[in-house]
A and B are shown apart, each in its own frame.
Chain A
Amino acid sequence: MLNTHLLSIVTFLPVLAVIVLAIIPGRQEKALKQFSIGFAIIHFLLSILLVTNFDSSVYKIQFEEIIPWFSTQFASVGYHIGLDGINLWIVMLTTFLGPIIFLSVYSSITKKVKSFLINMFLLEVGILGSLVALNTFLFYLFWEVMLIPMYFIIGVWGGERRIYAAVKFFIYTMAGSLLMLVAIIYMYLQTGTFELMDLYTHTFSGQEQVYLFAAFAIAFAIKVPIFPFHTWLPDAHTEAPTAGSVILAGVLLKLGTYGFIRFAMPLFPSAVKTFAPYVIVLGIIGIIYGALVAMVQKDVKKLVAYSSVSHLGYVMVGLFALTIYSVQGAMLQMINHGISTGALFLLVGIVYERTHTRLISEYGGIAKVMPVYAVLFMIFTLSSIGLPMTNGFIGEFLILMGTFKSAYPYAFWYAAFAAVGVILGAVYMLWMYQRVFFNIEPSEKNMKLKDANLRERIYLLPLLIMVFWIGLYPSFFLKRMDKSVEHYMKLIQPGTQLVVPDPTAAVDEGVQK
């Protein structure tokens, strides 16, 4: 009973929180916040059952639920959700970030608390729903509905230019997804089904694939965001409140890359081969461009935002390199980015709450007054750079190695240019770190800064654990992806027999080198 409906329960549980929050009067801010934290923890604990009951020896969809939803003469849609190695960890990341975000909200949100918490829980439903949906119509529904709470979070609780950022975010994303809607309808008319698993078995003609892939790819590319479509991201990130940035960077962007893995690529394998070199080049441009722009930022938060453009460039390169290493690396990197960039946004939020500025020039030397904070910041900085032993290393290493070994004529150059991003990443992150924490004596104003308090340490601790857990023992995570990725490779390269190497062994090998 629990197992059959577990995924639905996990997905829709936040709705219960919304109802309870609606009942609690808005004046009881403490009660509202405490309830949210408690609820998010229960939600996360419940979702752990998904990992413990997950069978990593098969690629099959698990915790599957299919119910007819509505059916009319001209369209019938089913409610179909499920979990496999591809979405398991992103779902877990979402529920994992929940309590952390609500803990950070405790001090950072002071006005209209009730509405904020409600929006946050609704956003979670939207994200989880689009992650587990295995029906294109259902996916589209969640994908769009998710925009509304995020739009409010940026627009109501954001910074000065929040309205501009919120509207830009909304319209940009909507533009892409409307194209996707046309493609979804077209596929339905060709095949008579919205079911993803049935669509996998259908082969579209070459011409169709090109158009359909383009429609899906633009929708997802905007979300990721891939290089020319990224302009909404820095605005959204800088204006969003800390909690909004964390969920945006942590999970929302991953929906773009997840969309590629789940929808765009396996549905249109031949178009993937046509487009792959271009996407890889755009990914590499994103890596280098994002890093260079991050380097010159004066605002810490904007810097972290541009670093996201750079990091997600890796994920795209990894996905389109089409080797088992790089795809696994890309999927792991999605999680890594959620953890380390999420943590960096939280850290920026902590100091912003104290100083009300994010300009690097306003800081300097604050390691002296905030030692614990400085250490935590250092660890997440290193994880973001991809230092061995941290999570970032595993992901980047697998991606670069997979890209290097890929079958493209310029595979070497792809890998080489992507690797430049690693160096640039170290440059902008460490340079920023130096300017914020060392360099000069702290100014008089900054002398009074308080170090990270207990609550802040508590919510950063789980992230810290994850950094080293993935960094030192990635096979726990990779093992649960293995079968699904293998199967996925067969979907995007039909007909080829794959000799599947063990990526965890490759990592060990790499570490020894």
Chain B
Amino acid sequence: MNVTVNMTALMPLIILFAGITLTALMGTMRPSVKRLAGLVGSIAVVLAFWWLMERVLPAIGTPALSSQYGMLTYSYYSVFLSSLVLVTAVAAFALSEHYLIAEDFSHPEFYAILLASITGMMVMLNTSNFVNIFIGLELLSIPLYSSVAYLRYKPESVEGGLKYFILGAIASGFLAYGIAMVYGATGSLDFITIAKAVKTDSLFRLGLLFVMMGLAFKAAAVPFHMWTPDAYEGAATPVTAFMSIAPKAVAIGVLIRILYSVFPQMVGYWREAVLVLSILTVLVGNLGAIVQQSVKRMLAYSSISHAGYLLMGIVAYSIEGVSGILFYLAGYMLINTGAFGVLSLLKKGDIDYVSYDDIRGIGYRHPLLGIFMSVFMFSLAGIPATVGFMGKFYVFKALIHANYVGLAMVGIAGSLISVYYYLRVVVNMYMKENPEENNFDLNFLSMTVLGICSVLVIAAGLFPAKIADIANVAARFMN
């Protein structure tokens, strides 16, 4: 067998892997060196990003990126999603610095674990082979389980991690079974070969169903969402920010890729399934969020509901829908990084002040933080002039275009419900008095990240053309 190694294609993974090794090694060094782990991790991510943009992007579609077995393939679509993951990672690293120091629990392993997860995501996104989907998923998940349980002296952190692990293992099992069945039906693991096979027998169908279930779990779609609130609540807040965006983007992205380009002949079959899934997700996510007493847990449910809107976009089955989803994801990344970023600052020592009562009057004691959080909340609620609205606009527009007006109405009902609990955050920040004068230490790095996020949320809400155009190209070139 003639195996060629394509360095251009491999390089982002190599850079990330180097980052993992370096940060892990730094754990054995002096404390003054240890403290630089976050920086080293971020540099690795930025370098990988730079390589994607400078070397990989121009080479897409040329032989320079060709690989023999479809193990590592890049497309505009996969690069778009990979960049989302990498940007989220940098933001999460920046937020972690402050959080972990406040926690007095700063270890370089933390960054090594997250970098491993990011590598898994890159593997999963940039492939055309089911084997790599599975490997990527495992590489994504296992570090994530441990990063949720990372604050090991906190019971809720360990509990969240364990729940996530057990349920996640079952989901991985589903995915593996599904892939095996598809292999059994078609005799191949390669996307293109399977797409050409045009099978409709029950083994093939069951395989598709199992694959969908495995991915729906990672995207936190109802009824596979049970782990979400506990895992999100238990994890260190910057990790929650990362978890609520990157794995979701990857799961939804890969799901779209598989459904649209591997199983297009089964559209009538999976469309119904995704339709049901999306309605359930939007409703359960939004209704669940209403009754929460902690903002962090509320945002966990809200992220479930946003997975629902994204799934709705899949039902549209059009380029317009995909480009809407990609735009939505880009906006969602900005908003959720910001919202969880604000929460990550609300801490003293190792105690998080993230219940509704704790944030009372924050808007007056920390005016800038209050404005940021309001921008993020209004944006999540889908108020115009923010990117959250434009995302919903594009997705619902695609749905109406595809004649799914009823489904769009369900989505709209969901976002109306969501207004109530997002406003509740603003109500507590500005309209209620807090007898306890809680002042928090706002560090510069985190505030810069939040500032950039909130400016971009509004800028991209008023002038969405740039991101929308890029999302468009990405949606067009999926393979």
**CB within 8 Å of B: which residues of A?**
70-75, 112, 140-141, 144-145, 147-148, 151-152, 155-156, 162-163, 166-167, 170-171, 174-175, 178-179, 181-182, 185-186, 188-189
- A182 with B427: CB separation less than 8 A: no
- A156 with B420: CB separation less than 8 A: no
CA distance A357 to B393 in the complex (A): 46
In the complex, chain B residues whose CB is within 8 Å of the CB of A185: 393, 396-397, 400
**Closest CB in chain A relative to B109 CB, distance in Å:** 43
- A155 with B431: CB separation less than 8 A: yes
- B397 with A74: CB separation less than 8 A: yes
A74 and B378 in contact, given A162-B431, A171-B419, A182-B408 (Cβ under 8 angstroms): no
Q: Which of A70, A144, A155 contacts B464 (CB 8 A)?
A: A70
CA distance A73 to B320 in the complex (A): 9
CA distance A201 to B104 in the complex (A): 67
CA distance A87 to B44 in the complex (A): 58
- B405 with A178: CB separation less than 8 A: no
A75 and B384 in contact, given A152-B430, A155-B431, A171-B416 (Cβ under 8 angstroms): no
Which of B129-137, B152-160, B465-473 is the contact stretch? B465-473
CA distance A167 to B472 in the complex (A): 37
CA distance A167 to B205 in the complex (A): 47
In the complex, chain B residues whose CB is within 8 Å of the CB of A74: 320, 323-324, 394, 397-398, 468, 472
Q: Which of B323, B394, B397, B431 contacts A156 (CB 8 A)?
A: B431
Q: Across chains A and B, which 9 residue pairs bring their CB atoms closest together, nearest first? A: A70-B465, A72-B468, A141-B384, A144-B384, A155-B431, A178-B412, A73-B472, A185-B397, A74-B320
- A186 with B415: CB separation less than 8 A: no
**Closest CB in chain A relative to B305 CB, distance in Å:** 15
B383 within 8 Å of A (CB atoms): yes
CA distance A471 to B255 in the complex (A): 67
Among B47-87, those with CB < 8 Å from A are: none
**CB within 8 Å of A: which residues of B?**
320, 323-324, 364, 378, 383-385, 389, 393-394, 396-398, 400-401, 405, 408-409, 412, 415-416, 419-420, 423-424, 427, 430-432, 463-465, 468-469, 472
In the complex, chain A residues whose CB is within 8 Å of the CB of B419: 170-171, 174
CA distance A249 to B385 in the complex (A): 25
Known: A70-B464, A163-B431, A175-B416. 20 other contacts (CB 8 A): A71-B465, A72-B469, A73-B323, A73-B468, A74-B394, A144-B385, A145-B383, A148-B378, A148-B383, A155-B430, A166-B431, A171-B416, A174-B419, A178-B412, A179-B412, A181-B396, A182-B396, A182-B408, A189-B397, A189-B401
In the complex, chain A residues whose CB is within 8 Å of the CB of B394: 74-75
**Closest CB in chain A relative to B323 CB, distance in Å:** 7
Looking at chain B's contact residues, is the secondary structure mostly helix, strand, loop, or mixed?
Answer: helix
CA distance A74 to B400 in the complex (A): 13
CA distance A72 to B412 in the complex (A): 23
List the count of A-B residue pairs having beta carbons below 8 Å apart. Answer: 90
**Closest CB in chain A relative to B216 CB, distance in Å:** 27
Most buried by B among A156, A166, A174, A175: A174
**Closest CB in chain B relative to A213 CB, distance in Å:** 16
CA distance A505 to B384 in the complex (A): 45
CA distance A209 to B324 in the complex (A): 27
Question: Which chain B residue lies CB-closest to A141?
Answer: B384
**Closest CB in chain B relative to A294 CB, distance in Å:** 29
In the complex, chain A residues whose CB is within 8 Å of the CB of B468: 70, 72-75
- A73 with B469: CB separation less than 8 A: yes
Q: Which of A73, A155, A171, A186 contacts B400 (CB 8 A)?
A: A186
In the complex, chain A residues whose CB is within 8 Å of the CB of B324: 74
**Closest CB in chain B relative to A129 CB, distance in Å:** 10
- A144 with B383: CB separation less than 8 A: yes
Q: Which of B401, B423, B469 contacts A170 (CB 8 A)?
A: B423
- A156 with B416: CB separation less than 8 A: no
**Closest CB in chain B relative to A137 CB, distance in Å:** 9
**Closest CB in chain A relative to B284 CB, distance in Å:** 20
CA distance A188 to B401 in the complex (A): 10
Most buried by B among A74, A171, A178, A189: A74
A70 and B431 in contact, given A75-B394, A145-B384 (Cβ under 8 angstroms): no
In the complex, chain A residues whose CB is within 8 Å of the CB of B472: 72-74
In the complex, chain B residues whose CB is within 8 Å of the CB of A162: 431
Question: Which chain A residue lies CB-closest to B399?
Answer: A185
CA distance A422 to B323 in the complex (A): 56
13 A–B contact pairs at CB < 8 A? A70-B468, A74-B320, A112-B364, A144-B384, A145-B384, A148-B383, A152-B430, A163-B431, A171-B420, A174-B416, A174-B419, A179-B412, A186-B400
In the complex, chain B residues whose CB is within 8 Å of the CB of A167: 420, 423-424, 427
- A186 with B384: CB separation less than 8 A: no
**Closest CB in chain A relative to B436 CB, distance in Å:** 20
In the complex, chain B residues whose CB is within 8 Å of the CB of A156: 430-431
CA distance A155 to B472 in the complex (A): 40
Question: Which chain A residue lies CB-closest to B381?
Answer: A174
In the complex, chain B residues whose CB is within 8 Å of the CB of A72: 464-465, 468-469, 472
CA distance A186 to B401 in the complex (A): 8
CA distance A179 to B405 in the complex (A): 11
CA distance A155 to B428 in the complex (A): 10
In the complex, chain B residues whose CB is within 8 Å of the CB of A163: 427, 431-432
